[in-house]
Amino acid sequence: MLTKLLSFSGRYRILHLTWFAFFLSFVVWFNFAPFATTIQQDFGLDVGQIRTIGICNVALTVPARILIGMLLDRFGPRVTYSLLLIYAAVPCLLFATAQDFNTLVISRLMLSIVGAGFVIGIRMVAEWFPPKEIGIAEGIYGGWGNFGSAAAAFTLPSIALGLSVFAGGEMNWRLAIALTGIAAALYGVMYFFNVEDTPPGKEYRRPSRNGGLEVTSRKDFAFLMLMNIPLVGILALLAWRLSKVGFLSETGLLIVWAALVGLYLFQAYGCWTTNADLLQGKKHYPPEDRYKFNQVAILELTYVVNFGSELAVVSMLPAFFELTFGLNPAQAGMIAASYAFMNLMSRPGGGLISDSLGSRKWTMTVLTGAMGIGYLCMGTVSEGWWLPGAILLTMACSFFVQAGEGSTYAIVPLIKRRVTGQIAGNVGAYGNVGAVAYLTLYSLLPEGAAGNLIFFQTLGVSSMVVAFLCGFFLREPQGSFAEFHEGEEEAVQPVVPALSHESYPE
């Protein structure tokens, strides 16, 4: 596969167009972090307010990833991704023209929906690549797309400085942010006219119902209901945090909490309607059509500690380097970008390792444990550190974080193909559960070395716990290294000779 990666035809063309869509969605999603201290000064915000905006930036991605997973399975990745990229321009322009704290919060909440774009590409790439190459393909998609957060941190401050001629010599962060939204919308139109959901001759497989995730046993349904609680609970935590900075009144907080209870019940009803025949005993899945939901749950937890921690660290790292080492915003943004810069190699590397070692389970376990050790080491970084040493440690830690993400999504498309979008959405949503939880903790910690130590220790310990769960409870997916996806070989044989590769065009 790697020898053909530079070609821009067949499935590789789809891969390149799709990772760049993800790249732009991440540039938009993380266009706030490089300007955090500048915006704080312009609006006169306190530390609690600026950290709250950082939390809002990842908040609604939780329900959005689940909803978009459903829309994706129903309408396909081409339409879903195109519309999401076009939508990105609206909150970007709103944020760029904001004049008060409340508008900043509302626009960042709206922008957090754009972070759900990752789920869409997972299904698109899985449709075009076979299981034996799914790790590296999804790793390239996720890693090169994830690099958008580094690109935002590295380039946007310089672009804003270059645009200062339009702002009387001051950093024009507003125009820089607006331009990211406009670029995403234009690419969304181009993406719609240049991709297809599946290779020629392949059928896009959809679940029979889209109200909730389909499970294959009553026990798994109960487990699904349990694992849906944190998806709503983390939003309740966010609402509480917003009330502490004056965005929500006490009455408003109670109304939001009541609405979240209603959201959980609505989601539970959707899952019930999808699985009603199973729960009423009218439907029984044969063994070859079943999957274990506990495998989804473990992957959700791995994404809490790897992608959730990445979102949290990327959101605080520019300010961390700026305040710890006395750097200016442009310098701190460029150095902090080293964390996300590793996505170019580490996430595809995690997928490649998963494809090559013959065990996706143990790849996941080892990478998660190494990530935990890396975070524990980062907790020791302080102003007395040698700056290049701190940068090297950051890059080393980020390798294991992002390789773990690649390893997670080397497994996700292999669990149950017809509900890949929803599984990817649930796993992805848990990444944002982790991000909101970690950022909320960070917002409550004192500034300085003591707060940073507690933050990174929390990331490290939680990663070690999940590594233990992977080692003892994660199972190797059936058909992890097969030539065809589950149920696909039989479907293509009448049209395509058995030894042909037409179902996955080069």
φ/ψ (deg, to 5) at 149: -70, -35
Q: Counting Cβ atoms within 10 Å, is residue 223 exposed (0-12), middle (13-18) or buried (19+)? A: middle
pLDDT tens, residue order, the chain (506 aa)? 555 667 777 888 999 999 999 999 999 988 887 888 888 888 898 887 887 888 788 778 878 877 887 788 788 899 999 999 999 999 999 999 999 989 999 999 999 999 888 889 988 998 888 877 877 888 888 888 878 877 887 788 888 877 776 655 555 888 999 999 999 999 999 999 999 988 888 887 776 666 678 899 999 999 999 999 998 998 898 889 888 878 788 999 999 999 999 989 988 998 999 899 999 998 888 888 888 999 999 999 999 999 899 888 877 887 788 888 888 777 887 787 777 677 778 878 777 777 777 788 898 999 999 999 999 999 888 888 889 999 899 888 989 998 898 888 888 888 887 787 788 878 988 988 898 899 888 888 887 778 888 999 999 999 999 999 999 999 988 755 555 555 655 544 444 444 344 455 66
Query: 475: helix, coil or strand?
Result: coil
Distance CA 189, CA 63 (A): 25
Q: Counting Cβ atoms within 10 Å, is residue 496 exposed (0-12), middle (13-18) or buried (19+)? A: middle
Residue 10: alpha-carbon gap to chain centroid: 26
Considering the entire predicted model, what is its pTM?
0.77
Taking each helix axis from N to C terminus, what angle separates 117-128 and 77-96, rounded to the nearest 10 degrees? 160
Distance CA 421, CA 423 (A): 6
Q: Considering only the C-alpha atoms of the chain, give the largest distance between any 2 of them, rounded to a whole number of Å.
A: 71
Distance CA 385, CA 324 (A): 9
Alpha carbons within 13 angstroms on the beta-carbon side of residue 269 total 6
52 with 105: CB under 8 angstroms?
yes
Residue bearing tokens 């380039």: 155
Taking each helix axis from N to C terminus, what angle separates 360-378 and 343-356, rounded to the nearest 10 degrees? 150
Cα separation values, 462 from 8, 339, 455, 465, Å: 41, 20, 11, 5
Alpha carbons within 13 angstroms on the beta-carbon side of residue 223 total 16
Query: 500: helix, coil or strand?
Result: coil
Fold of 2-492: Growth Hormone; Chain: A; (1.20.1250)
The closest alpha carbon to 201, from 124, 125, 128, belongs to 128
